[in-house]
Amino acid sequence: MMASKKELERHDLAGVLVLVTLLCSSSLVFGNDVVHHDNVAPKQPGCDNDFVLVKVPTYIDNDEKDVFVGVGARFGPTLPAKKKDSKQRRVVLADPPDCCSTPKNKLTGEVILVHRGNCSFTSKTNIAEAAGASAILVINSRKELFKMVCEVNDTFKEISIPAVMLPQDVGATLRESINRNLNVSLQLYSPDRPSVDVAEVFLWIMAVGTILCASYWSAWSDKEALIEQEKLLKDAADEYIRPDENSYSSVVDITTTSAILFVVIASCFLVMLYKFMSHRFIEVLVVIFCIGGIEGLQTCLVALLSCFRFFDHARDSYVKLPFLGTVSYLTLGVTPFCIVFAVVWAAYRRVSFAWIGQDILGIALIITVLQIVRVPNLKVGTVLLSCAFMYDIFWVFISKWLFHKSVMIVVARGDNSGEDGIPMLLKIPRMFDTWGGYSIIGFGDIILPGLLVAFSLRYDWLSKKNLRGGYFIWAIMAYGLGLLVTYLALNLMDGHGQPALLYIVPFMLGTLLTLGNKQRELENLWNKGEPERICPHEPSQ
């Protein structure tokens, strides 16, 4: 049993308004940001290490404090994988700070903290080793981690001490503690990261499952709408009355123009997020997410409870309220629960288990949006996904050349906001990864492909195709395969943020266009988006 027209109409505006915000989170992101502008840096004997992330637990007067993350250099020895195999050593400041000349202070196995610049990384490390340091920590001039490589025609002695780069803010923290005459020490080790974490499997299941649920709901709604239209036509046939074609309309059909404008507006909004990202801006996004989550959770709960006869009376009984109009008693009953759920999540969103509430609200919102917003044919779906494909590539990769950072990744992580990221993401903590963190996927990577999957199932149902002979099973398989390839690319590229639509869109469009052409239905799919009407009284679209 589906929600009635009166239940759905109130959600149209909220669903459409939140779409732009959702698309801004359409990049799949995971791991620390490690940057290097020279991807052709030479490898040579003694300078051919793989880049690894390094854990740096710090101690103040032998009491363990913060654990920071750095990146190992192309040169130097391999760091131990376990903490117990790493020695705890005292940290001292370099004098001069850049360590481009012999330090004035005598070193007896300490870790030396140096500034980046004025000479090569290998020169700093050779000088530090000659002065008696056991390791060198290079502090970057930015918050990102920079890969330390060897220069072209670089000549250096064989290096036997580890070199690790730390972000600018970490260096400032260590330097402040040392200047306060505190005894600062640390360890250096690099735990192995699992190739695949269980969190990625669950996130894949969550994304595919959400699209499956939303697609079946959308197709069932269309089926009920068709039955209702046929009944009205049958009743009106003798009186030559043409029923109102919009009598059941509670969905928003995307047009080709709106698909293009949608991506343009989303790009403008993304830049605004990038430029003005702050704690208060995140708070605004949290409010927007909560409003959308309440609407989505309410719609899903009303539809779910409507399936039980026990709630028939509450579902079919309405009360008129100021500003809200006509609302069912069932909606009144579930709304307070939805509001409390969203408010509690917002208040405790920084606790370790808050991701559960975020995912519940997010999934409900995605399902509701896919129920309300639809693509009418394959042409609109192709334009929308193609624009989103270019949007993802531009804002993840090309934006680095214009803004010196990947705009999409900065926004998704919530840099400079004091938060772990924007809330428009599904996330699961990495369960067997000693590095911790989350595997995440943006709402846009589910909603935009989901629109095409839902369209394919509606077409199959209206044309009475079986599962094997239809388009839906191939569309959902193409989405799942594209998302799987995204995760493979994510792990192969050291956890750098990947635009999921870069992999998903070619799989989906290629599959549907090829299959439509093979079944000689491509023209119908492309222009009309529905099978030929059997009933002669049915109004043509």
Residues 185-206 pLDDT 10s:
999 999 887 777 888 899 999 9
Measured between alpha carbons, how far is residue 358 from residues 96, 246, 418 in Å?
Answer: 49, 35, 18
Cα separation, 242 vs 233, in Å, equals: 7
Residues 333-353 pLDDT 10s:
999 999 999 999 999 998 989
Cα separation, 288 vs 21, in Å, equals: 9
- Enumerate long-range contacts of 11-15, CB under 8 Å, 24 or more apart: 11/295, 11/296, 11/299, 11/368, 11/372, 12/250, 12/251, 12/252, 12/372, 14/291, 14/292, 14/295, 15/252, 15/292, 15/295, 15/368, 15/369, 15/372, 15/373
Name which of 24-33, 125-134, 513-522 the model is least confident about: 24-33
Which pLDDT band holds residue 156 (cuts at 50, 70, 90)?
low
* 3-state secondary structure at position 93: strand
SS3 track for 454-476: HHHHHHHHHCCCCCCCCCHHHHH
Mean pLDDT for all residues in the chain: 82
Instruction: Please identify which of the residues 359, 392, 420, 433 carries the catalytic annotation.
Output: 392
User: Does the structure show a pLDDT above 60 at 110?
Assistant: yes
Instruction: Please identify which of the residues 359, 420, 433, 445 carries the catalytic annotation.
Output: 445
Q: Please tell me the predicted confidence (pLDDT) of residue 357.
A: 95
Q: Please tell me the predicted confidence (pLDDT) of residue 2.
A: 40
Q: Please tell me the predicted confidence (pLDDT) of residue 513.
A: 95
**475-482: average pLDDT:** 96
User: Does the structure show a pLDDT above 70 at 310?
Assistant: yes
User: Does the structure show a pLDDT above 50 at 270?
Assistant: yes
Residues 491-535 pLDDT 10s:
777 556 678 899 999 999 999 999 999 998 999 999 888 776 554
Q: Please tell me the predicted confidence (pLDDT) of residue 242.
A: 47
CB contact at 8 A, 57 and 81: no
* Pair of tokens at residue 519: 């079944």
CA-nearest of 414, 487, 13, 394 to 208 is 487
More confident residue, 39 or 420: 420
Residue 392 annotated in active site:
yes
Residue 61 annotated in active site:
no
Helix 501-518 to helix 444-462 angle (10° resolution) is 10
CB atoms within 10 A of CB 151: 16
Side-chain half-sphere of 185: how many Cα atoms within 13 Å?
A: 15
CB contact at 8 A, 150 and 42: yes
CB contact at 8 A, 332 and 288: no
CA-nearest of 274, 372, 516 to 7 is 372
Residues 72-90 pLDDT 10s:
988 889 899 888 899 999 9
When mean pLDDT is compared over 85-89, 311-315, 400-404, 490-494, the highest value belongs to 85-89
User: Does the structure show a pLDDT above 80 at 123?
Assistant: yes
Which pLDDT band holds residue 244 (cuts at 50, 70, 90)?
very low
